[in-house]
Amino acid sequence: MSLSKKIYFLAVICTFAGLTKGIRAQTMLDGFMKASGEGTVVLNYSYESYDRFKFAKTTRGAPLSLGAKIDTKAAGLFAAYGLPKNLNVVVSIPYVIIQGNGDELEREQEVRGFQDATVYLKWKPIETRMGQGDFSAMAALGSSFPLSDYGADDILSLGNQATTAEFRAIAQYKFDFGFFANAQVGYSIRSNNVPDATILSGKVGYAVSKFYLDACVKIQISDSDAPDIMRPLIPFYENRVNFALLGINGYYPISSQLGLVAGFSHMLGGRNAVLPTGYSGGIVFNFGQ
């Protein structure tokens, strides 16, 4: 198995928790590619908790009726597969449980179910030697769609009940000794009156055959004409949601076919956004090597 293939296996699965509405789909793409016929499947568990959120730009505590604290747990399936002609397909399916910590007699304290499936097709048209490393440029088209008929207009909603279409441009430079830097820009078009948004991300990391480690920041900027949460009679999912999310991820291979992944995430700030801290862990299966 070549060094470049090993590095891909380390990198592709390092997508941190991202359980909050609209975040998960933004954590699925990286700057590495699988060779044709090679695949990776990840079984992942994530936990996220918050007691504060942004009401427009003002920080407030979580509702007392929910015990002033909300927890999110998820079991997820992530898969990536290499196709001919420098194409990869990437798929994610999460099952999510969101729980309040208040009195069940006062209001419902839990919702659960399948959230939104996400599918991307990623293409790498450019890879070239540059200095002491390799530069690559990629493009991705993706879509997400609800897997269940969950409610969308509540703090405990599993998601926004929206179908999305997204384009992403990705650029990456990787030094021969393992350090790499990655930048992405994209735009997400959303149904159900959910505001469209610009997606930005930056990542730095170290990827070699024996381990992988990265730190990344994801940013969403909703269209500016969308309302704030303070507007009366406006459903939650129609509000503008801006955020900046920090993630740290690592992977350790047990063998060429099996490995372990772990991640940490923390919301740095935002607008009409919850402010969670999350942890994740999973087991990775590689095939077709």
Selected residue with higher pLDDT from 20 and 163: 163
Which domain range does residue 238 map to? 3-287
Q: Rounded to two decimals, what is the model's pTM?
A: 0.89
Q: Is residue 10 within a helix (H) or strand (E), and if so which, with residue range? A: helix 3-12
Query: What distances in angstroms separate CA 259 from CA 7, 36, 48, 227, one per listed residue?
Result: 13, 21, 23, 44
CB contact set of 226 (below 8 Å; sequence gap of 6+): 195, 238, 239, 240
What pLDDT was estimated at residue 126? Answer: 97
16/112 Cα distance (integer angstroms): 20
Total domains, the chain: 1
Positive/negative CA dihedral, 239, 111, 104, 71: negative
pLDDT of residue 20: 52
Q: Quote the CA–CA distance of 219 and 74 in Å, as a whole number.
A: 22
The pLDDT, as a whole number, for residue 27 is: 62
CATH classification of the domain holding 185: 2.40.160.40
Above 50 in pLDDT, residue 1?
A: no
Specify the pLDDT at position 66.
86
- For residue 55, name the pLDDT band (cuts at 50, 70, 90): confident
Which structure tokens are listed for 50? 């918050």
Q: What is the pLDDT of residues 88-121, one digit of tens each?
A: 999 999 999 999 988 876 778 899 999 999 999 9
Report the alpha-carbon distance of residue 78 to residue 42 in Å, rounded.
5
